Amino acid sequence: MWDSLAPVDKRQAEEYVAAGWWRSETFLDDLAAAARDRPDHPAIITYEGGEHARTLTYAELATMVARFAGALRSLGVGRGDVVMIYLPNRWVLTPLYLACNQIGAVSSPGFPMLSTRELRQVLESTGAKVCITLDTFAGTDYATRLADLDVPTLEHRVVIGDAARVGAVDFQQVFVDTPWEQRSPDDGADALGPDEPALVLHTSGTTGPMKGVVHSQNTMYACVRASAEPLGLAPDEVVLLPSVLTHMAGVTHAVYLPVHLGCTAVVMDSGDDMALMVALIARHGGTFVYAAPGFVIGMLAAQRRAPVQTPTLRQIVSGSAPIAPQLIADVREAFGVPMRALWGMTENGAVTVTRLDDPDDWAAHSDGRPVAWMQVRIDTDPGEEAGRLYARGASQCLGYLNQRELYESLLDDDGWFDTGDLARDDGRGGIRITGRRVDLITRANSLRVSTLDIEAVLQRHPHVVEAVLVGYPDPAVPGADLVCAVVIPGGGDTPTLQGLHDYLEAEGVARVLWPDRLQFVRILPKNALGKPLRHPLRQRLEIAASARS
């Protein structure tokens, strides 16, 4: 299975190490240093169902990593084996990731919202030997969902909660209560090296079938540094984010970044309660928040309803979607801090970041400059301002598991990775994402509407809270699309289609990019990162169009 990945280029690896972009140490070394130097410092503070669940100091985290490593060994997990972690945010996630590193296993986190079909796909594609889940969460019976699947490689199903009901291994008994670190101390001989496959992250599938993106500890180290260094993060940080820790953003900012810095991560199990998020910033002295714009909008709404003092907060960083100028102004007013923007992918983490020396509102105009160990390139057609975005460098993944041909088809001869995004130069050495090629809406006249660019303009409208452009079938031209603006209204008035047209005209937006239709919603369907999901919106429009015909 691992031979489906191209071997790490030794000469390139040596160059990365010489430049300080990769290293010979691992996150286990970072953990050991933190447990030695600041054993009583909180590493993880978790909340479940709105209530404090558990706090682990760095000394306790080191103990739990050793204990979980022993538990996995007792289940027959060894070097190269895959452990699927199918959980919402829980305190056990960080020690599970690191325990896999400790015994040479590979962790394969799965979104808790994966359906049965997608769960089977991940288990089968990774050949997972063990899957860890919980009994129920948010009305879903995860234990039964997993028990009902027949996957030949899966030897053990482990359940947090009522494991006996489905005949699974009891996580509390085997992983938490059994002192494996005392019974069979680990000499570290099996621990993963910095360049070995360590993590298989699955893309959300919003633009096609899920892909297993494989990272090493060194590529993740580069991902961590891409946030930590340009943004001036330090060991005194208290990091919060509302997204799941089974996605690139969560793994980077709430698992490996805190361990690398020796700082604190505050984690909640649901991204729905932004009032709790704001309260936790105040309660735990939060300094750094990573959240998609949709989550930030929720934080602002909570702060307006019941203002909370957050004097320790230093910055809010956002990715996954454009940041509107009004959002930056609202954050400054409500929390007194700047917003930064970053751009990256599951395949390479954060690649570009707006910096501390950029203008205060720069995140509304740019997705930042590339970090030193990553390069970006924009290939534009004649007469076009935006073009294909390519990237390469030290945080680029090792490839797609079992899909080597697909991954290599996205690389050119010089190692540039075709990101699938469209971007333009921001005028300060950075980029501005204008959309994904798959999100382009093609009109009957072959002119294309780049969604993110126009959405960013619409979200500056005083009566628009959020806006998403969605293509829907043009009844006059089979295969072509019209454009619908799906809008959450706000600001005391309801916009009209003509009003949006007038606004876009005043903003200098070409008429061909204007929406043909306006649809209001109370909430937008989103994935775990807060990215709007266009597919269900398009389905609704197609159903409505069919009903009228």
Do 291 and 318 form a contact (C-beta atoms < 8 A)? yes
Residues 6+ away with beta carbon under 8 Å from 71: 99, 174, 175, 178, 180
Do 337 and 324 form a contact (C-beta atoms < 8 A)? no
Do 413 and 376 form a contact (C-beta atoms < 8 A)? no
Q: What is the mean pLDDT of residues 458-469?
A: 91
Domain of 454: which CATH number? 3.30.300.30
Q: Is residue 409 part of a domain?
A: no
Say what the pLDDT of residue 230 is. 96
Q: Give the pairing type, strands 130-134 and 82-86.
A: parallel
Do 222 and 395 form a contact (C-beta atoms < 8 A)? yes
End-of-domain residue from the set 192, 211, 244: 192
Where are the alpha helices (H) located in 375-519, listed in sequence order?
404-409, 451-458, 497-506
Say what the pLDDT of residue 186 is. 86
Say what the pLDDT of residue 207 is. 42
At 344-380, the pLDDT tens digits run 999 999 999 999 999 989 999 999 999 999 999 999 9
Q: What is the mean pLDDT of residues 122-151?
A: 95
Instruction: Indicate if the pLDDT at residue 66 is higher than 90.
Output: yes
- Rounded to 10 deg, the angle between the 27-37 and 217-228 helix axes is 60
Say what the pLDDT of residue 308 is. 96
Q: Can you give the length of the chain in residues?
A: 549
At 399-408, the pLDDT tens digits run 999 999 999 9
Instruction: Indicate if the pLDDT at residue 444 is higher than 70.
Output: no
Neighbouring CB atoms inside 10 A of 186's CB total: 17
Say what the pLDDT of residue 528 is. 60
Instruction: Indicate if the pLDDT at residue 206 is higher than 70.
Output: no
Q: What is the mean pLDDT of residues 336-344?
A: 95
Instruction: Indicate if the pLDDT at residue 1 is higher than 90.
Output: no
Domain of 75: which CATH number? 3.40.50.980
Instruction: Indicate if the pLDDT at residue 169 is higher than 60.
Output: yes
Instruction: Indicate if the pLDDT at residue 387 is higher than 90.
Output: yes
User: pLDDT category, 475, cuts 50, 70, 90?
Assistant: confident
At 2-54, the pLDDT tens digits run 888 988 889 999 999 999 999 999 999 999 999 999 999 999 999 999 999 99
Query: What does the DSSP assignment read for 320-369?
Result: SS---HHHHHHHHHHHS--EEEEEEETTTEEEEE--TTS-TTGGGT---E
Say what the pLDDT of residue 279 is. 98
Instruction: Indicate if the pLDDT at residue 209 is higher than 70.
Output: no
Say what the pLDDT of residue 205 is. 44
Q: How far is CA 367 from the centre of its chain?
A: 16
Q: Is residue 27 part of a domain?
A: no
Q: Is residue 457 part of a domain?
A: yes
At 91-114, the pLDDT tens digits run 999 999 999 999 999 999 998 877
Q: What is the mean pLDDT of residues 169-176?
A: 98
Q: Is residue 485 part of a domain?
A: yes
What pTM was computed for the model?
0.84
Q: Which two tokens stand for residue 364?
A: 């509304």
In the chain, the number of structural domains is: 2
Q: Is residue 431 part of a domain?
A: no
Say what the pLDDT of residue 512 is. 79
DSSP state, residue 172: I
Q: Which two tokens stand for residue 269?
A: 């199990």
End-of-domain residue from the set 140, 171, 192: 192
Residue type, 60: E
Residues 6+ away with beta carbon under 8 Å from 150: none
Do 104 and 190 form a contact (C-beta atoms < 8 A)? yes
Q: Picking from 110-124, 140-154, 304-318, 389-403, which range would have the lowest pLDDT averaged per residue?
A: 110-124
Q: Is residue 381 part of a domain?
A: no
At 243-283, the pLDDT tens digits run 889 989 999 999 999 999 999 999 999 888 999 999 999 99
Q: What is the mean pLDDT of residues 310-329?
A: 89
Mean pLDDT score across all residues of the chain? 91
- Burial-class residue 446 by CB neighbours within 10 Å (0-12, 13-18, 19+): exposed
Instruction: Indicate if the pLDDT at residue 476 is higher than 60.
Output: yes
Query: What does the DSSP assignment read for 417-441?
Result: EEEEEEEEE-SSS-EEEEEEGGG-E
End-of-domain residue from the set 192, 211, 237: 192
Say what the pLDDT of residue 532 is. 82
Q: Is residue 348 part of a domain?
A: no
Instruction: Indicate if the pLDDT at residue 535 is higher than 90.
Output: no
Domain that includes residue 65, residue range:
60-192
Say what the pLDDT of residue 347 is. 95
Q: Is residue 538 part of a domain?
A: yes
User: pLDDT category, 479, cuts 50, 70, 90?
Assistant: low
